[in-house]
Amino acid sequence: MLITNQLQMEGTGNKRGLYGIAVVFLFSSTFSLIIFADMTGNKKRRYIKELIVSPVKEFFADSRAVGITLLCCTVVSLIISNSASGEGYLAFWNMELDMPAPGVHIPHTPLHLVNDFLMAFFFLLVGMEIKRELLVGELSSVRKSLLPIFAALGGMAVPALLYLLWTGDNQVFSKGWGIAMATDIAFSLGVLAMLGSRTPFTLRVFLMALAIIDDLGGILTIAIFYAEKIDMTFLAMAGGMLFVLSLLNLLKIKRHYIYMLLGFFLWYFFYNSGVHATIAGVLLAFTIPLHKIEHMVHSMHDPVNFIILPIFALANTAIILPDTYGHIFTSPVHHGIVMGLVLGKPLGIVLFSWLTVKIGIAALPGGMRWKEVIGMGMIAGIGFTISIFMSTLAFKVPELQTTAKVAIMLASLLAGIAGYVYLRISYSMKKSGK
């Protein structure tokens, strides 16, 4: 209703624009139907496949697709938020939802529904990827996993310390230290993919392993440091449900829908316990049998990355930008996030990697050079998804959330451009023999 009222209040000029769009759409649709009516059945199918289906499949298969989709959703959300329909758009995400039954406590606004429920599916996918990598992937070997583990630790510790240096003793500002720790897997791998075949495969694997460990660190940070007042009854019920799920794994129960069904109860208990409900997704992932994970990761990849994450981007970048940015660009929160992601990430990753190799604990993967580690460290400064998510947990004041989100978007943009340009120049110099 709020959005409808907002639209009704707009001027006649906007109405004429809408009528014009409707007329153009009507004519183009009619023209398309006439063309299709003249085609044979086989030609229709071939035309649809070549013009629509094949390009869409190619786009989804492209490693840059998720990053491009999230970027587009962010831009669209910011444009709508700061247009004439902005108030109605924000009101939609924050409108109160009716509870299904008295005494049932679930997310009460579309924004909370996205952040507390839908994002649990994202963390379920991340959790399954972590479990797969730990058991059979790049992190299954101690020798192979040590370098990305130490690099990720450096990439979390140094940004957090830089953030705290900027915020000082301010108890409210300092709560955002976890924001600068995150690395967005989709965006970072998308930027790396833009460099094409010039990047060695080992660099992509190293970045993916580092980002997965980084996600695990972010998940632990959310569970330990951003938990609200704990309800021990619901927490005990969540523990009991987790025990049942683990027992199903030990008994080799293979039907994944049983795990998913019980996972809803696990989510509900965690949601009401005070521990952030998205942790239920990760814990559920660790109880799912390994032989089912590959199938579930494959089936969940597109819905999570092309439906849930875009909705998350739309909901969490629905912010009305201020007329002046002086208070944002002078805020310690802004400085801490930007410095943490843009400078702290590469500094921590390179420093900890160098120390790990120097003392002989691990070695650089074959085909990788230190220049590539530096460039990858810059790209790892793209925080976005997890950083924005943490900003909603760290700050309850809308103005601080806006400051944090603006800083995250700016820092992610700077980190992505810096990493891409650095590696592009590095590969150009290597090709020319300099």
- Going by C-beta distance under 8 Å and a sequence separation of 6 or more, which residues neighbour residue 432? none
In CATH, the architecture of 68-97+107-226+276-432 is Up-down Bundle (1.20)
State yes or no: pLDDT of 385 exceeds 80: yes
Work out the average pLDDT over 359-377.
88
HSE-up (13 A, CA, CB side) for residue 68: 10
CA-closest candidate to residue 74, choices 395, 423, 393, 387 = 387
Distance in angstroms (rounded) separating the CA atoms of residues 384 and 430: 31
Question: What token pair was written down for 280?
Answer: 């239920």
CA-closest candidate to residue 151, choices 208, 225, 196 = 208
Cβ pair 326, 83 in contact under 8 A: no
Question: What token pair was written down for 329?
Answer: 């660009």
Distance of CA 370 to the CA centre of its chain: 27
The domain segmentation of the chain, as residue ranges, is 68-97+107-226+276-432
Distance in angstroms (rounded) separating the CA atoms of residues 116 and 126: 15
232-273 pLDDT, tens digit per residue, is 999 999 999 999 999 999 998 888 889 999 999 999 999 999
CA-closest candidate to residue 431, choices 192, 191, 197, 189 = 197
Q: Which long-range contacts (CB under 8 A, 24 or more apart) does 74-79 make?
A: 74/313, 74/317, 74/409, 76/314, 77/313, 77/314, 77/315, 77/317, 77/318, 78/317, 78/319, 78/321
State yes or no: pLDDT of 9 exceeds 60: no
Range picked from 195-199, 311-315, 335-339, 364-368 for highest mean pLDDT: 335-339
Mean pLDDT of the chain: 83
CA-based angle 175:177:180, to the nearest 5?
140
Cβ pair 350, 378 in contact under 8 A: no
Question: What token pair was written down for 163?
Answer: 């953030």
Distance of CA 92 to the CA centre of its chain: 22
CB atoms within 10 A of CB 249: 16
Distance in angstroms (rounded) separating the CA atoms of residues 96 and 108: 6
293-329 pLDDT, tens digit per residue, is 989 999 998 899 889 999 998 998 888 887 777 788 8
Single-letter amino acid, residue 320:
I
CB atoms within 10 A of CB 25: 10
pTM for this one?
0.74
Single-letter amino acid, residue 223:
A
State yes or no: pLDDT of 11 exceeds 60: no
Indicate the DSSP class of residue 141.
Answer: S
Instruction: Check residue 433 and give its pLDDT.
Output: 61
HSE-up (13 A, CA, CB side) for residue 60: 13
Distance in angstroms (rounded) separating the CA atoms of residues 433 and 92: 57
